[in-house]
Chain A
Amino acid sequence: MKVIPFSAQAQAQAQARTPGSAPSSRPERLRRLLRSYPPLVLLCGLWTLAILGVALLAGELAPYAHSQIDLQARLSPPIFMGGSASHWLGTDELGRDVLSRLLASIRISLLVAFISTILSATLGVFLGFLAAHFRGWVEQLILILVDFQASMPFMIIALAVLAFLGNTLPLFIALMGLYGWERATRITRGLTIAANEQGYAAAVADIGASPMRVYLVHVLPNIASTLIVSVTLTFPEVILLESGLSFLGLGVQPPMTSLGNMVGYGREYLQTAPWLLLIPSAVIVLTSFSVSTLGDWLRDRLDPTLR
């Protein structure tokens, strides 16, 4: 059996080592930086920023007006499929510039998706907290609402809004804010009941903190990880749902355009003009992917025990 002399070697090593943690070398630092900010996360961050930039500057960036029709140039392919440079991403079935439409769509879809995702998450979390805090009949009532929302086809809810309130963009965003809250509520309720059983929340409440403070400052960050998953799932769902609802006469309507709309009208051209469907789909997938990746990364960052 191999016996290592105890003293000498250990001593030598102990001395060779500068006290405390060794100051990291350059590649070491780079490695750490890449660990905290993996390239994928950086890429996703960049993409999200780019998309947000596009959303802000859509008007300035677009080479054409998004509704400008050129029937003679309809369905011309994008430049990478052999099209001309006058329409980089080609044109649609009315000869409108796909790039310009894409820019306008990004602006409107992100507006809708971001705001309504936030609305739905807020509503869901709030109701989840309420249920977990009061239990009893309040909880039962909220669970009834959850089941109600889950069983009611969203089409009918949309019809309700359409029938009674009409269709304006703010109203539509509010309606989409009703999408997916039930999932957030159920998750929040479950996790909060569990959290309430744990010491930290009870401890702060016992110090005299208001329930508001307990839930927002302490419980919320602790249940955020699963919520983030739920919210990042809602995000693309809202974008796609919008396209479905625009067929009901709700939401973004021609001549205005949205990613969902482009995908919806592009589906019949999958074989003849695939770019009409694939380009907006790619934007949706990439953006959702970025948002989800950032969400997961944020989730890990929020958890100091995982760092």
Chain B
Amino acid sequence: QTDSRPVLRIAVQQVTNTGSLIPLRERSNVGSRSFPMIYAGLIEIDRQGNLSLKPGLATSWKRIDERTVELKLRKGVKFHNGDEMTAEDVAFTFGPEYMFAATEPRRAGQKAVTIKTDASAAGAQTAGKALALPPEVPAIARRLWPSLEQVKVIDKHTVRFVNAVPDVTMEGRIARSGSEIISRRAFLAAKDWASWSRSPVAAGPFKVKELRPDNLLVLVAHDAYYGGKPPVREVRYQVVPEVSGRVNGLLSGEYDFVADVPPDQIKTIEANPKFEVVGGPALNHRLIAFDKHHPQLADPRIRLALAHAIDRDAIVSTLWAARTSVPAGLQWEYYGPMFHKDWSVPRYDPQLAARLVREAGYKGEPIPYRVLNNYYTNQVQTAQILVEMWRAVGLNIQLQMKENWQQIFDQGAPRGIRDWSNSSPFNDPVSSIVDQHGANGQQQQMGEWSNSEFNTLATLLENATDMSNRSRVFRRMLEIAERQDPAYTVLHRSAQFYGKRKDIDWKWSPTFAMDFSADNLRMPGK
């Protein structure tokens, strides 16, 4: 009996940057697009809805204490290889063989310093029958779960996540990407890590049929998926690196979907009534990061002037066709109680900016602005607009095109300004402002910025459990990082656009995931 469900053809810019399908190694937005179709997590996010947490492989969860969460596992969940998921698999997923190798959780009283992994130790730990993990995997895993002590099997369908320190974000962390459950048996049976990473066995709605890095990813329906039989037989992610290639492929009927559509292409696609573009702001903010060690930027007034000189609305309404928005600083609505509605990015005020510049005694000294070639959508265009806006308030910003991130971070020459974007992988400020700007975050690790009060607050935010206290701490952190001693300034929300056939019923998600499970996709006809 032949499967009459259609095949879904999607043109994407890339399927995986690192050639692997392992969320613990592939940390890009690119991966977040397809991984949720392969993997299922214990707790899921309501991707197309309000981003709240909802049951996944776990049907329910409850707090045992500040350090412990207990989850009831869904019964009868089948992995891609047909095995039934049990608590053993969950414990294994969060064990040393798959995630942590020899790394130790950060325990109470330990300061947030860079966590070193030892490659040889990681290897030694997993030696024997298990596969040797690439050493970067445990390092990343520890970032996701800095203090996870262990996952305890209570019974076949009950597990407990035990943290070393109090943590209110545990549920969020369980829901984030990287915490998906894999099949223990399949992992242990894999030839080596590299082959595992090309065909992982998990419990998502689709299973991997074929991965040709830089070319093609084919997923086939996992009909035993707990969320229902997917409405398509197969999903083919075709790598089409050129924007025009994707758009033309859609228009000529070769693809049902195209991802990574820049806003200026929306018109081209929608000129054809059979197609439409959907999408909008995603869980990611574009921002500008400052290096406060630059002689001119050392004065916070200059950094603030930079922030006030930007007409964000102009950028959003033109380059982004008004299809994204300017957020309220480095925070997202789905933080819920932690979200500060009344907070905002520095307003567009050229006079104020010019005054700050004058007061700081700035004399037109050049400040470098390092830019990659459209690593972010519209990056070069935005940068040129910014430079003009800054020029208008008397700031001499010099655009420097760079080829790679190392050149962006290079300390050999004076650094000034650079582009960045921050995501929020789970519903708490820890996932962004702490993880990215705190003592262990990239900005401080790269030596661009630090602030002792901010760092103290960051630790507090991580460990405190009282929500109103945490909210206050967060507010103060925003004040420091965005106004008082600016570390960055937020430009706008990043946006994702998808071109698609109008007759396919499908909703996009701000999480970058393209959800083709039965809940979210209805193919026309039949």
A residues lining the B interface (CB < 8 Å): 67-69, 71-72, 74-75, 93-95, 159, 162, 246-250, 253-255, 265, 267-272
Contact = CB atoms under 8 A, between A and B. Distances in A.
B77 to A, nearest CB: 44
Interface of B: 242-244, 247, 262, 264-265, 267-268, 314-315, 318-319, 373, 380-381, 383-385, 387-388, 399-403, 407
A72 B244 CA distance: 25
Contact of B400 (A159, A253, A265, A270): A253
B373 A272 contact: no
Residue of B242, B265, B318 with highest tally of chain A CB at under 10 A: B318
Sorted from nearest, which 7 A-B pairs have the closest CB atoms? A249-B401, A253-B401, A71-B318, A249-B403, A248-B403, A271-B268, A247-B373
Contacts of B383: 254
Contacts of B400: 249, 253
Contacts of A267: 242, 244
Contacts of A68: 388
A268 B262 contact: yes
A269 B264 contact: yes
B264 A268 contact: yes
19 contacts: A68-B388, A69-B384, A71-B318, A71-B319, A74-B318, A75-B264, A93-B264, A93-B381, A249-B373, A249-B401, A249-B407, A250-B403, A253-B399, A254-B384, A267-B244, A268-B264, A269-B264, A271-B247, A271-B268
Contacts of B380: 254, 265
Contacts of B243: 268
Given A265-B380, A271-B247, A272-B268, A249 B262 contact: no
A162 B410 CA distance: 13
B10 to A, nearest CB: 20
Nearest to B262: A268
A162 B403 CA distance: 9
Residue of A159, A246, A247 with highest tally of chain B CB at under 10 A: A247
Contacts of B388: 67-69
Contacts of A159: 403
B323 to A, nearest CB: 15
Nearest to A71: B318
Chain B interface main SS type: helix
A93 B403 CA distance: 23
B373 A94 contact: no
A45 B523 CA distance: 61
A270 B244 contact: yes
B402 A272 contact: no
B102 to A, nearest CB: 36
Residue of B267, B315, B403 with highest tally of chain A CB at under 10 A: B403
B401 A246 contact: yes
Residue of A69, A75, A269 with highest tally of chain B CB at under 10 A: A69
B399 A255 contact: yes
Contact of B244 (A93, A247, A253, A271): A271
Contacts of A74: 318
A94 B384 contact: yes
A246 B403 CA distance: 9
Contact of A69 (B247, B262, B385, B407): B385
A249 B403 CA distance: 5
Contact of B265 (A75, A247, A272): A272
Nearest to B269: A271
Nearest to B371: A254
A250 to B, nearest CB: 8
B399 A254 contact: yes
Contacts of B244: 267-268, 270-271
A243 to B, nearest CB: 11
Residue of A74, A75, A254 with highest tally of chain B CB at under 10 A: A254
Contacts of B264: 75, 93, 268-269, 272
B368 to A, nearest CB: 12
B246 to A, nearest CB: 11
Nearest to A267: B244
Given A271-B244, A272-B267, 16 more contacts: A67-B384, A68-B388, A69-B384, A71-B315, A95-B318, A159-B403, A247-B401, A248-B403, A249-B373, A249-B400, A253-B400, A254-B399, A267-B244, A268-B262, A269-B264, A271-B247
A57 B319 CA distance: 32
Contacts of A246: 401
A74 B268 CA distance: 16
B268 A254 contact: no
Residue of B265, B384, B387, B400 with highest tally of chain A CB at under 10 A: B384
Contacts of B315: 71
A254 B383 CA distance: 9
B401 A254 contact: yes
B170 to A, nearest CB: 43
Nearest to B389: A69
Nearest to B374: A247
